[in-house]
């Protein structure tokens, strides 16, 4: 039986990774210390998800461990009988706002934690794929320099622009404001690439846009589609930050992202980097997302528009998926915005 280590195993992408692997016959060791409850409060705790995974799958073992604990991480890797065949690293501090409040914690979790995992992998499973859940925030706010057109409900690029079908990895990560979260994730991203190149390890950075799904514990500072639907269903007020609500995001369902992980694990490369998201098939503006949530739920959202956007936030982001699709032509998106929101609504509406 093959063994995988999944960090952040109680979170959205981590738990979906556990489900995919366990259902495929893998033994899965999950590392999660429920820091999400610290970041976003008790209602965002990953503990119930972790408990549910342990109850559902005999092959899942959850370990309460902070990835900043280098000795603890090494101990987990060294203690796996038969060795580790795959590492999926999704654990992170994911909020711009939270990072600015506690930079040392943010950098420790996102950058130093990643270094600890890479070193453990180099020592104990250097030939096993190391999959890192990175972010499009490594590009900072450089996408905001794109010549966007203001339409009725969204910002958009001219169809003739080179990035109309999505932004690819040719975009620079320099000369931009990232937010401290973006910086810590960029540091981790570069570490993962460097271990691939310098030590010839099979590593990949998936630079995700908005990652979502029905089990997403949406919070005000993270996970906008899930939190938006939660506010609609529960009658909570919602604030849209800046850009007239016309900022555009692509959204990828967690199952589609994890299927991309699986495709890479089957045929890994060294120091690979991909932008990944909903692309042109699955994207929306805030205004469009609000309309969709109201239509699906049959309820009206109590929302206000703030003139102040978050530092480093994107006005427009759509991922170019062509590079990954060229390397892994069997992979495809199976969920669009409508399907994603219907699933999320079903979770909150009971």
Task: Compute the distance between CA of residue 254 and CA of residue 14 in angstroms, rounded to an integer.
Answer: 9
**Number of folded domains in the chain?**
1
- What's the per-residue H, E or C state across the chain? CCEEEEECCCCHHHHHHHHHHHHCCCEEEEECCCHHHHHHCHHHCCHHHHHHHHHHCCCEEEECCCCCCHHHHHHHHHCCCCCCCEEEECCCCCCHHHHHHCHHHHHHHHHHHHHHHHHHHHHHCCCCCEEEEEEHHHHCCHHHHCCCEECCCCEECCCCCCCCCCECCCCCCCCCCCHHHHHHHHHHHHHHHHHHHHCCCCEEEEEECEEECCCCCCECCECHHHHHHHHHHHCCCEEEECHHHCCEEEEEEHHHHHHHHHHHHHCCCCCEEEEECCHHHCEEEHHHHHHHHHHHHCCCCCEEEECCCCCCCCCEECECCHHHHHHCCCCCCCCCHHHHHHHHHHHHHC
Residue-wise pLDDT for 227-250, tens only, equals 899 999 999 999 999 999 999 999
Is the confidence at residue 280, as pLDDT, over 70? yes
Q: What is the predicted pLDDT for the residue at 219?
A: 62
CA distances from 207 to 11, 272, 281 (A): 17, 11, 17
CA distances from 281 to 148, 249, 313, 336 (A): 19, 11, 22, 6
Residue in this structure with the two tokens 């309820």, named with its chain if needed: 299
Residue-wise pLDDT for 199-221, tens only, equals 999 999 999 989 998 877 666 65
Q: Which two tokens stand for residue 195?
A: 């271990």
Question: What confidence category does residue 106 fall into, taking pLDDT thresholds of 50, 70 and 90?
Answer: very high
Provide φ and ψ at 303, rounded to 5°. -130, 155
pTM above 0.75, yes or no: yes
Are the C-beta atoms of 258 and 264 separated by less than 8 Å? no
Residue 212 maps to which CATH number?
Answer: 3.40.50.720
Lowest mean pLDDT among 172-181, 307-316, 340-349: 307-316
Contacts of 190 (CB under 8 A, 6+ apart): none
Angle at 159 between CA 158 and CA 160, to 5 degrees: 90
Name 99's bridge partners: none
Is the confidence at residue 222, as pLDDT, over 70? no
Give the chain's end-to-end CA distance (angstroms, integer): 37
Residue-wise pLDDT for 43-65, tens only, equals 878 999 999 999 999 999 999 99
Q: What is the predicted pLDDT for the residue at 265?
A: 98
Q: Which two tokens stand for residue 260?
A: 């991309």
Q: What is the predicted pLDDT for the residue at 308?
A: 84
Are the C-beta atoms of 297 and 345 separated by less than 8 Å? yes
Domain that holds residue 195: 3-349
Task: Compute the distance between CA of residue 136 and CA of residue 124 in angstroms, rounded to an integer.
Answer: 30
């Amino acid at each position: 039986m093959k063994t995988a280590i999944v960090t952040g195993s109680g979170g959205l992408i981590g738990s979906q990774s556990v489900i995919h692997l366990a259902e495929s016959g893998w033994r899965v060791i999950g590392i999660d210390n429920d820091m999400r409850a610290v970041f976003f409060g008790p209602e965002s705790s990953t503990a119930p998800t972790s408990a549910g995974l342990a109850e559902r799958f005999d092959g899942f073992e959850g370990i309460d461990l902070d990835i900043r604990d280098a000795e603890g991480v090494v101990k987990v890797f060294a203690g796996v009988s038969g060795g580790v065949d795959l590492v999926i690293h999704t654990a992170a501090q994911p909020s711009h706002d939270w990072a600015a409040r506690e930079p040392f914690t943010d950098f420790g979790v996102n950058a130093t934690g990643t270094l600890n995992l890479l070193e453990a992998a180099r020592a104990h499973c250097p030939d096993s794929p190391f999959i890192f859940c990175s972010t499009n925030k490594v590009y900072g706010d450089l996408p905001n320099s794109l010549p966007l057109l203001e339409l009725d409900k969204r910002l958009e690029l001219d169809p003739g622009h080179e990035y109309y079908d999505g932004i690819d990895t040719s975009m620079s990560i320099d000369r931009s404001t990232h937010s401290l979260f973006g910086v810590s994730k960029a540091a981790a991203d570069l570490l993962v690439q460097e271990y691939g190149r310098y030590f010839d390890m099979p590593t990949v950075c998936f630079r995700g846009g908005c990652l979502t799904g029905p089990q997403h514990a949406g919070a005000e500072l993270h996970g906008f589609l899930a939190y938006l639907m939660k506010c609609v269903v529960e009658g909570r007020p919602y604030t849209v930050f800046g850009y007239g609500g016309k900022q555009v995001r692509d959204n990828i369902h967690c199952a589609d992202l994890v299927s991309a992980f699986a495709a890479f694990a089957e045929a890994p490369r060294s120091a690979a980097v991909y932008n990944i998201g909903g692309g042109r098939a699955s994207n929306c503006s805030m205004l469009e997302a609000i309309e969709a949530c109201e239509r699906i739920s049959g309820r009206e959202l109590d929302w206000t528009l703030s003139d102040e956007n978050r530092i480093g936030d994107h006005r427009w982001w759509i991922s170019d998926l062509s590079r990954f699709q060229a390397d892994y032509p069997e992979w495809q998106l199976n969920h669009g915005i409508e399907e994603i929101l219907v699933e999320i609504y079903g979770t909150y509406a009971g």
